[in-house]
Structure 1
Amino acid sequence: MSRKNICSMIILTLLLVFHSCFSPQAAIANEPKIGAKSAVLIDVYNGQVLYEKDALQKRPMASTTKVMTAVVALGGSDLHSNSRVSKNADQVGESSMHLEEGEILTLEQLLYGALMPSGNDACVAIAEHVAGSEGFFVLLMNEKAALIGAVDSCFKNTNGLPEKGHYSTALDLALITRYALHNPVFCDVVKTKFKVVKGPDSLDHYLKNTNKLLWSYPWADGVKTGTTLEAGQCLIASANKGERRLLAVVLKDNNRFADAETLFNYGFNEFNLVRKLYQGEIYTRVPVVNGASKEVPVMVANNITINLRDLDLEHLEQKVQIPRLVNAPVQEGERLGNIEYYLGGHEVGSAEIIAASSVQEASVIQKIKKKTILYWNLI
């Protein structure tokens, strides 16, 4: 928004209150009961949190770490470039895709090995290929996590093996994975059940996905398991049903797959996807000072869709910021304000208010004509 328009800005706050016969107690009664120490359920498309349980508690996250490893690897590296497996990668213990020193695989093949069977060796091979060493790659992981907004996470390695100071939160893992799910290659990898990987001079690697929801839950389409003694059983899972895609994270959970399914059923069954505004919808018209036209139509820049339970309508707030008037010229697409929806103090939907068309500054003749008309109207 231009400085001249800011000077004329008046904030219009509208609170919309809808009456409902449902009580807050009903919401508590219908919330899912799960055994995870920390958990969160979010909408992948708009980021809305539908359920949380100690989602900000820092704790070890085992191999769910590998989602962050994949994010960095997919951040611009050539997926078809060849990587020679080092002795260091070959000797990594625990979960493995069974790499052998000296064999050559592409970066994409290593990603399948890291995310499907949870290969710790594949993660080290990825790090050495992309950044030269695992240590430097971990620096990139922490840098990228902060940019994504996962500020309560600290990565010490690429695979999630126990290490002091290596932790995240359920919410941070949801933010990281939501970011990752925007990458089609990542989505293809994490939904794959079986795959055979083979380099030019290596044996076949038969990979099977560790995410059992891909077989047991019809709408499941990823993402990553993790298990260590310290972290317990962990799971990041996504499910796509109709127009909605949900993401569940459960940490330190003895029944992770069933609990993730419980969260998905809660999200799909208890919430309705409500579209409040449509992209391109004319919201109102704003007077233009010294413009060739008297006013400019303004519209919302994107759809606003919100997951709502019936009882949530009572608490939904709408806040609108639109200038009372603007000065010409106004350019089509120029940001003039914004509209936000809040539920329980948390933003659940927003959109910019932009000019739907351009309004040029009035010519000298037009200005004289307007002033003449105004003068004669005053006498």
Structure 2
Amino acid sequence: MKRRLRWIIFVLCGSLCVCQAQSTPSNDDQTDAVVRPTGVHKRKHTTTKGSRAHKRAADSSDEDKTPEPALAPAVPTQPSDPNRVPNTRANSVMVVDARTGQILYEKNADQPRPAASTQKLLTALVVADTGYLDRQVAVEPIDTLAEPVKLNIRPGETYQRIDLLRALLVKSPNDVARCLARDNAGSVDAFAEKMNAKAQQLGATHSHFLNPNGLPIPGQYSTARDLAIIARAAYANPTIRSIVCLPQLVFRYASGRTRELENTNKVLKRLPYCNGMKTGYTEAAGHCLIASGSRPGRDVIVVVLGDTKSGVWADAASLLSWGLWL
């Protein structure tokens, strides 16, 4: 009897152990269930890698595009050592106090060089000085004979001077520069004479301008020092100052079509204290930038000429930071 009871108990215990083993996974099974990715997870993981690789490729080939405002500053808000001037790759450099004109730093500042589109600040000064910016300008065929950057305004269309001036300083179209020059002085040559007269009046006496857009032409040149003088005058002009700080601008064509123009100045979107000025590039001039910035009690203008494609932004940004915290 006792043997039979023991046998029954043994059978019952064995059955319970088998049931428990089938219903509860082992530690290895649990590990597989948590750690081993399913096919869906693998595909998701692979897609993420691909997306990141695609983004890196897009970023590396996107140097010509203006960065979004969300980009982090290119340099720290304050320089690590305000007493040391940043190293720069530019051929000519000028850093000045925008209010007093005090020279904070210079490098080959009197070397004659092509200024490219940075000289459009002088174009803007001549146009702004003439006034009547609400008047209409009729585009003529000769205005459109410009390359390579154009807004593609068409003969017969009419625009307010102020709208063309905004487009000129934000996006730098060469057809707009010609249109404003011809409207202002009757011809590009006559306008160039007004540019030179204005430069002389300001004290920029080592420059010679032959067109309003900065496209290469023999005999046209400026210096970092002269451009700093011109930039100070532009910085003091309320109309120009209110335009060069714009990250983007919506331009309305005569047809009613609109186009968003991104500011060509990348430093404007990278540094919170940069408040504008003007870019420039031609093969002869290299990459050029006039950048301005302010903080309480300090306004600084930086001129960088003959720099590299990537170096111009880093050099201008580091010099601007250094000058503001000097």
1:63 and 2:63 equivalent? Answer: no
Displacement after TM superposition at 1:55 (Å): 0.5
Counterpart of 1:243 in structure 2 is 297
Counterparts in 2 of 1:102-113, with a 5 A limit? 102-113=156-167
Q: How many angstroms apart in 2 are the aligned matches of 1:262 and 1:143? A: 33
TM-score between both structures, scaled by the size of structure 2? 0.72
Structure 2 vs 1, CA of residues 56 and 28 (structure 1 numbering), >3 Å: closer, same or farther? Answer: farther
Give distance in 2, aligned partners of 1:43 and 1:71.
20
1:86 equivalent in structure 2: 140
Contact 1:103 1:202 in 2 (8 A): no
Matches within 5 A, 1:25-174: 30-174=84-228
Contact 1:60 1:230 in 2 (8 A): yes
Any conservation in 2 of the 1:97–1:114 contact (CA below 8 Å)?
no
Rounded to whole Å, the distance in 2 between the matches of 1:94 and 1:164 is: 18
Normalising by structure 1, report the TM-score: 0.62
- Cα deviation, 1:31-53, whole Å, max 9, x if unaligned, reads 22100000000000110000000
For residue 260 of structure 1, what is the aligned residue in structure 2?
Answer: 316
Greater RCO, CA 8 A, separation 6+: 2
Bigger share in helix:
2
User: Which residue of 1 is the match for residue 248 of structure 2?
Assistant: 194
More strand by share: 1
CA offset digits 1:122-144 (Å, max 9, x no partner)? 10000111111111111000001
How many Å separate the matches in 1 of 2:294 and 2:104?
Answer: 15
Match of 1:7 in 2: none
Q: Which amino acid aligns with 1:67?
A: L
Instruction: Tell me how large the CA RMSD over aligned residues is.
Output: 1.6
Identity %: 38
Q: CA deviation at 1:195?
A: 1.2
Corresponding position of 1:179: 233
* Partner SS, residue 159 of structure 2: strand
Cα displacement (A) at 1:204? 2.1
CA distance in 2, matches of 1:143, 1:263: 30
Structure 1 residue runs without a partner (length 5+): 1-26, 272-379
Please give the alpha-carbon distance, in whole angstroms, between the structure 2 residues aligned to 1:159 and 1:87: 17
SS across alignment from 1:74: helix
Larger CA deviation: 45-54 vs 258-267 = 258-267
Does the aligned pair in 2 maintain the 1:105–1:198 contact within 8 Å? no
Deviations 1:338-358 (A, max 9, x none): xxxxxxxxxxxxxxxxxxxxx
Structure 2 spans left out of the alignment, 5+ residues: 1-80
**Counterpart AA for 1:62:** A
Q: CA deviation at 1:28?
A: 12
Deviations 1:292-316 (A, max 9, x none): xxxxxxxxxxxxxxxxxxxxxxxxx
Once residues 128 and 49 of structure 1 are traced to their aligned partners in structure 2, the CA distance between those partners, rounded to angstroms, is 35
